[in-house]
Chain A
Amino acid sequence: MNGWLKDREHLARMAVIFAGALVLFLVVRAVMVPNGFGTYGHFRSGALKDNASHPLSYAGRQACGDCHDDIVASRKGSKHERIGCEACHGPLSVHADDPDKMKPVLPDAKTICLTCHLENVTKPKSFPQIDPAEHGDGGPCTSCHNPHHPEIS
């Protein structure tokens, strides 16, 4: 055996183990790194699809208007014109997909209006607010106001 190597042979054995471990690591890494990792940046590109494929709960006002064009028309020019339908009626994508599958429940006119219009010092001054003890006769708001066009002419 080569004289130089003779007393370094045990070190060579250790070096082979380290080199082997390194190669193994590189091979395992090459196999295990998820597809599409790094395509758009340091992440798995499939994660974009994962995030985009979450199911909808709110259908969006466009979908509501596709069928309920009469309501859209009735809201024209009112202060409530630009409020999303589901802001009051709740998430209705199931209804929008198949109107027979789910019927929306009519919001309770005594509470839903107060969600926004109950007096509170923190609300912007310009926003119409009422104290139900002083405003109206204690009945549902809808007895005087049309929620889709609340202005009393």
Chain B
Amino acid sequence: MESLLHSVQGFIYPDELQLQWSILIVLYPFITGLVAGAFILASLERVFNVEAVKPTYRLALLTALAFMIVAPLPLQLHLGHPERSFEMYLTPHTTSAMAMFGFVYLWYLMAVLVLEIWLDFRKDIVLTARASKGAKRALYRAMALWSDNISERSLRIDDKVGKFITIVGIPSAFLLHGYVGFIFGSVKANPWWSSPLMPVVFIFSAMVSGIALVMLMYQAVNWYRKTAVQMSCLDTIARYLLYAFIIDFSLEMLDLVHRIYEADESFKTLDFMVHTKLYFSQIILQIFVGTLVPIGLLALVQLVSVRERARRIIYGASGVLTLVGIFAMRWNVVIGGQLFSKSLLGYTTYKMGFATREGLLPALILLLLPFAILYLLVKLLPPWPEGDLARKE
């Protein structure tokens, strides 16, 4: 507390000394963004029949589910009273963006992701159930809801319903992450957040991060399974990433130019913050390393012919940098929005703990958890084109 008091620059309202939203709240938009982005990529194949990205369809869906399961955990961990969080379902306040999130989350998780995955994997589930014994059989039978019907007609119906769900799912994905942007963008008290562009920027940055994640996962999975990467697939994903990134960056620059040109009462305060406390995370990490460099790399592949091996390295590098950049963007929104005083006369400092409830350690665990869940999901529902390996035993 004492050291925090000494780190205050200028004047802040006394109650503003400590940041209320920690790194965990940085994770939450980062993770939901990955979910929404991965789903939107998967939907391309389904709705717009983009054949080239087909090899990533199921992987993208499972990735989205794995991250979706983890998405509310940082929120829960951050609450002063996690045991009261169900009140959001009991007495949701309709004027609160946060209250509606509970319902949007449930809708997206259950009505979109779980249903779509179930329909898509139902054939595999039934076949696995038929080919197994004992507990495993019981598990897969339960997952198939004790139905054994995988007739041509039933699968065709599944496909139709699945397509319908995907079509509903795309606006849902936009809603899910646009909503997260709205939670910040609608806070009129905070000039760093308050912007109608916020939900749009969040949606496009979500697409960018989700596409980058699936691109990386696809390479990693093929490397791990020692199978060949389909370059046409990778090239297509990289191209989409570039397009989404250009829109995302343009929107962010629009916001920036608008702020600089209008230079309203908050501008000097925010400008000073960007050039000092946020310089590394905003200018260096987010804009330069995390946006300009990957955009440049991805554009390079489009402009000159690059050999396959080099392309794979470029895609890998730009994917990692993209994720770093989007994480930095979430950080700059959430943490940056709390470093300056609402009096616009001073600044406080964010002191992150390590093994504390809202420290770095739980944040890292929460970032790795989706991969563990994805590992289990992949064991349960192998997304590979050749189907369940166990079935061939």
Contact = CB atoms under 8 A, between A and B. Distances in A.
A17 B151 contact: no
Contacts of A7: 149, 151, 153-154, 157
B161 A18 contact: no
A30 to B, nearest CB: 10
A33 B88 CA distance: 11
Interface of B is mostly: helix
Interface in A1-59: 6-11, 13-14, 17-18, 21, 25, 29, 32-34, 37-38, 42
B157 A11 contact: yes
Given A18-B110, A29-B89, A32-B90, A9 B147 contact: yes
A18 to B, nearest CB: 7
Contact of A33 (B91, B93, B157): B91
Contacts of B89: 25, 29
Given A6-B149, A17-B145, A11 B90 contact: no
A42 B93 contact: yes
Nearest to A10: B147
A10 B144 contact: yes
Contact of B154 (A8, A14, A34, A42): A8
A28 to B, nearest CB: 8
B19 to A, nearest CB: 27
Nearest to B94: A42
Interface string B133-156: 000000000001111010101100
A93 to B, nearest CB: 27
A13 B151 contact: no
A43 to B, nearest CB: 9
Nearest to A29: B90
B344 interface: no
Interface in A96-136: none
Interface of A: 6-11, 13-14, 17-18, 21, 25, 29, 32-34, 37-38, 42
Interface of B: 86, 89-91, 93, 110-111, 115, 118, 122, 144-147, 149, 151, 153-154, 157-158, 161
30 contacts: A6-B149, A7-B149, A7-B151, A7-B153, A7-B157, A8-B154, A10-B144, A10-B147, A10-B149, A10-B154, A11-B158, A13-B145, A13-B146, A13-B147, A14-B115, A14-B118, A17-B145, A18-B111, A21-B110, A25-B89, A29-B89, A29-B90, A32-B86, A32-B90, A33-B90, A33-B91, A34-B91, A37-B91, A38-B91, A42-B93
Given A10-B147, A14-B145, 9 more contacts: A7-B153, A10-B122, A10-B145, A11-B157, A13-B145, A17-B145, A25-B89, A32-B86, A33-B91
